[in-house]
Amino acid sequence: MTQIESNTDVENEDLNVLSADNPLKNPEHDRLGYAPFAKNLADSICKMSPPQGFVTAVYVLLGV
């Protein structure tokens, strides 16, 4: 097992920003430019009122 040690807090913060488990709270930190798409998707979902529930999936292809 490989263990990575960080010498600075800045390196740790950079790793946390890119973690899939930590969503961005400020659109200004969106390095990939998905904030406008995410806002439109969220607005559309909030306007829906499906009678029996709702399931959605979003697939993002990077580097294509």
Q: For the segment 9-63, what is each residue's pLDDT rounded down to a tens digit? A: 445 555 555 556 677 888 888 888 888 988 999 999 899 888 888 888 888 777 7
In a domain, 49, yes or no: yes
pLDDT, greater one: 63 or 64:
63
Looking at residue 18, its amino acid is L
Check if the beta carbon of residue 12 is closer than 8 Å to that of residue 6: yes
In a domain, 53, yes or no: yes
In a domain, 42, yes or no: yes
Closest CA to 45 of 37, 54, 36, 58: 54
Burial 21-31 (b: 16+ CB within 10 A, else e): eeeeeeeeeee
Domain containing residue 20: 8-64
In a domain, 1, yes or no: no
Q: The dihedral of CA 12, 15, 21, 22: what is its sign?
A: positive
Tally of domains within the chain: 1
Structure tokens at 1: 């097992």
